[in-house]
Amino acid sequence: MTMPASGYVVVTGGAGFIGCNLVDRLAAAGHQVILFDNLARAGAERNAAWLRQRHTANVSLLQADIRDRDAVKGAVAQAAAVFHLAGQVAVTTSLDDPRQDFSINLEGTLNLLEALRRSGRMTPMLFASTNKVYGDLADIELKRGSEGYFPESEAVRCRGVSEARPLSFCTPYGCSKGAADQYVLDYAHSFGLPTTVMRMSCIYGPHQMGNEDQGWVAHFLIRGLRGEPIAIFGDGDQVRDILYVEDAVDAYFAAWRRIAQVKGTAFNLGGGPENAVSLNRLIAHVEQLIGRSLSISFQDWRPGDQRYYVSDVSRARATLDLARPLSWREGVQRLLHWLQHAPESPVLAGARAEAAE
């Protein structure tokens, strides 16, 4: 591809779920965007095509891998900002192939940091990290109620898990993302790079091609609409805070605008206690929305799975001046509408493929 003039924005993993929503917002705001993606993930080609059709003049696709140092160096050479969302995203995949997980999540991130450091331009970089950096949280005493697990500690129950929580990496995925998280923060402290980290909880919304390993909110809806069974790993009473993707994009924009103030800082990014929901509770809500019961089976717990994780988002909301997030019920309704009506929906795309056979 022909690189645009200086001042463009690079989004690694830009054809992924969060990435394509971020690229869409950037391009709509008039930014020239390089969508840096290897298009390996299911649905990525469809997302990239959607973006290029909507923003013909503003979005350029660079099909490349974050492990390719030369491609990374060339992509960010004249960038005004980099949003780093490319990564291996599933705990299960990391257990199957730890070396690949390491090379994508940690070595790929280091490639990007070194390219930015050596450019000498002090280009801002915002990194998509994960709540898995806090480990399985087994030391948090829990009780089990009608709406799932909840902490005995009133402070944790009311506010969630804060950034003051000690890091505790477990599973190869937790190690690779956690180490990358720390490298991103350290490059601000050691080299002055304007970097920040978003430790994301469960983000959901349009363009999420959810599956059994990642993207569970969309996965439940997709399976429900297709009339397919759903496997729950654990008892279904595990609780997560979920955040609609537009609210996540707002947070990335806010951090970019304030990068001089927030460089070297990690933020929890999730729905907070008001958007905490158990898997069983969400399934019941999906059943109500689509008007039929879902076929559910329960499997063994998976390594590193947290029975309870809710983000304390007070730092992000105060520092980044974020509005209250969309309620989870409204967000799930919006995602359902997209899955039922958008041409890019995996539900409709699957139906078209079946009809063509």
| Ordered structural domains, the chain, with CATH | 9-299+308-349 (3.40.50.720)
Taking only the tens place, the pLDDT of each residue in 88-135 is 999 999 999 999 999 999 999 999 999 999 999 999 999 999 999 999
Structure confidence at residue 53 (pLDDT): 95
Structure confidence at residue 303 (pLDDT): 86
- Integer Cα distance of 90 and 215 in angstroms: 9
Answer whether 302's CB lies under 8 Å from 92's CB.
Answer: yes
Structure confidence at residue 350 (pLDDT): 60
- Provide the whole-model pTM: 0.95
Answer whether 269's CB lies under 8 Å from 222's CB.
Answer: no
Structure confidence at residue 356 (pLDDT): 46
- Integer Cα distance of 38 and 60 in angstroms: 13
- Average pLDDT score over the chain: 95
Structure confidence at residue 4 (pLDDT): 62
Report the pLDDT averaged over residues 216-242.
96
Virtual torsion, Cα 46, 52, 55, 57, nearest 10 deg: 180
Taking only the tens place, the pLDDT of each residue in 147-195 is 999 999 999 999 999 999 999 999 999 999 999 999 999 999 999 999 9
DSSP element (H, E) containing 81: strand 81-84
Per-residue confidence band for 42, with pLDDT thresholds at 50, 70 and 90:
confident
- Integer Cα distance of 349 and 357 in angstroms: 13
Token duo for residue 303: 């390594």
Structure confidence at residue 348 (pLDDT): 85
Report the pLDDT averaged over residues 29-37.
97
Report the pLDDT averaged over residues 246-268.
98
Write out the catalytic residue numbers. 173
- Length of the chain in terms of residues written: 357
Taking only the tens place, the pLDDT of each residue in 313-352 is 999 999 999 999 999 999 999 999 999 999 989 998 765 5
Taking only the tens place, the pLDDT of each residue in 283-305 is 999 999 999 999 999 999 998 88
CA dist list (Å): 190 to 105, 185, 233, 264: 21, 9, 41, 10
Structure confidence at residue 71 (pLDDT): 98
- Is 267 a residue whose pLDDT tops 70? yes
Report the pLDDT averaged over residues 259-272.
98
Amino acid found at 185: L
